[in-house]
Amino acid sequence: MLISKKLSYPTLLFIGLGLVFPFLTYFNIPLLDGALVTALENTQALLFLAAAIFSYFFIRPRQYATGKKQFWIWVIFWWILLFGRSISWGRDYFPDVAHDYFRIISILLIAPVLLMLLSRKLRAEIIVKLKTTQLPIFSIVLALLAVIIADAIEHNRAISIFFLYDVAYKDFLEEMYEFALIWGLFEATYLLMKQEEADT
């Protein structure tokens, strides 16, 4: 496994913002009866969808071998899965619809990510990527820390006391850290694309 220690300015910015986010509660930002959090959630959903579209247009003009093409299709399905999860499989927009429909939607979005791993060529390509691609360590660490902090805030875990100073801003802070997660994942994907372009 190769490691890239390059630190991009956006990642550095998000690391800095991650230190600042907990103190935003002292500015008494108006939550607008939940409308602000809803707007943040909708923005995140659009970002996941945009990442899937971006990935699609990256692979579309390229003539890849089967395994490599499967890898990028798998990446697209991951973005679509994250999009679906971010809107609770559609339940956020259609709360009156029976929950069984949303379970079906979740299965339909999760299934491709798992079933594609049955492909020997895809598994081989994932191994090749892990062995030959420089993984952007700061992007990955940013994403991991962001998801750990967001999860801690959401579920009131022990470390949440370091980030949540006002429970009224619980949902707001969780969403703010999830933006750092999205950036970390996207930058890792984008840098992987750039390395692949350089190799072809």
The string of pLDDT tens digits covering residues 3-35 is 888 889 999 999 999 999 999 988 989 999 999
**Beta carbons of 21 and 173 less than 8 angstroms apart:** yes
| Average pLDDT, integer, range 114-132 | 93
Say how far apart CA 149 and CA 173 lie, in whole Å: 9
Q: Phi/psi at 135 (nearest 5 deg)?
A: -85, 125
Residues in the chain: 200
- In the chain, where the domains are located: 2-199
Compute CA 137 distance to the chain's CA centroid, rounded to the nearest angstrom: 16
Position 65 scores a pLDDT of 79
Q: What's this model's pTM, rounded to 2 decimal places?
A: 0.91
Query: Using 50, 70 and 90 to split pLDDT, how confident is the model at 168?
Result: very high
Bridge partners (DSSP) listed for residue 135:
3
DSSP string, the chain: -EEE----HHHHHHHHHHHHGGGGGGGT---GGGHHHHHHHHHHHHHHHHHHHHHHHHHTT----HHHHHHHHHHHHHHHHHHHHHTGGGTTT-TTS-HHHHHHHHHHHHHHHHHGGG-HHHHHHHHHHHHHSEEEHHHHHHHHHHHHHHHHHHTT-GGGGGT-S-GGGHHHHHHHHHHHHHHHHHHHHHHHHHHHHHH-
Q: Shortest CA distance to 44 belongs to which of 191, 193, 183?
A: 183
Cβ–Cβ under 8 Å, residues 44 and 180:
no
DSSP β-bridge partners for residue 134: 2
Question: For 22-68, how does the pLDDT look when each residue is reduced to its tens digit (9 = 90+)?
Answer: 999 889 899 999 999 999 999 999 999 999 999 999 888 878 878 88
Which tokens belong to 46? 């659009």
Q: What residues contact residue 8 under an 8 Å CB cut-off, 6+ apart?
A: 138, 139, 187
